[in-house]
Amino acid sequence: MSRNTYIPCLLNLLCQYGYDGATLSKISEATGLGKASLYHHFPNGKDEMVTTVLNFLADWMEQNILPALKTEGSILIKMERMCDRLNEVYAGGEKPCLFAILLMGSSRDIFHDQVKVILLKWINEMTEVLSASGLDTAIARGKAEDVAIAIQGALILSHGLDDVSLFQRIIRQLPQRVCG
């Protein structure tokens, strides 16, 4: 069993319980591995597990979001494809964003730099695509930021209000909104 086997399980635990709440006991139970076995796969303990998950998410973005932004077609099409993938990974708004989770509270100092790199890559890529369509660079950057803001905000509010329809509406309207 490679350590990659446990990444989806770790991601779910972190999303559900947060960094502090995802204890080694819970991880042990969910993975079916004893604590000592977890340290065999992740010698640096929980922080290494989280870093591994973040690397996985960075890869996922590279292989899903960025290709969606580079497909042939209009900006509208590109944004629709990206939103489809975001809708998948956030399970229609049911699943919170690990980036936001790790940025709040005690885990922030540990993982902030890694999260920042991922978020920046996403926003930079959107900015580039929008610029390439002839938009002024500053305007493109602002629109890219607005997309990330809307996604993150919609996830927070959907969880806070127990109403995924907020996230779903944002996902549906975003492509048009970026083009408008």
User: Applying CB under 7 A, which residues contact DNA?
Assistant: 1, 20, 22-25, 32-37, 39-41, 43, 45-47
How far CA 115 is from CA of 34, 36, 99, in Å, comes to 29, 28, 6
Q: How far apart are CA 111 and CA 14, in angstroms?
A: 13
Binding residues for a copy of itself, how many (CB under 8 A)?
Answer: 39
Residue in 122, 123, 134, 127 with CA at minimum distance from that of residue 58: 122
What does 157 interact with, of DNA, a copy of itself, none (CB < 5 to 8 A by kind)? a copy of itself
Instruction: Please tell me whether residue 120 binds a copy of itself under the rule CB under 8 A.
Output: yes
Per the document, the length of the chain is 180
In the set 159, 164, 174, 175, which binds a copy of itself (CB under 8 A)?
Answer: 159
What does 72 interact with, of a copy of itself, DNA, none (CB < 5 to 8 A by kind)? none
C-beta of residue 54 within 8 angstroms of C-beta of residue 111: yes
Residue in 106, 98, 18, 24 with CA at minimum distance from that of residue 56: 98
Instruction: Please tell me whether residue 115 binds a copy of itself under the rule CB under 8 A.
Output: yes
Under the rule (CB under 8 A), what is the footprint of a copy of itself? Answer: 17-21, 96, 99-101, 103-108, 112, 115-116, 119-120, 123, 142, 145, 148-154, 156-157, 159-162, 166, 169-170
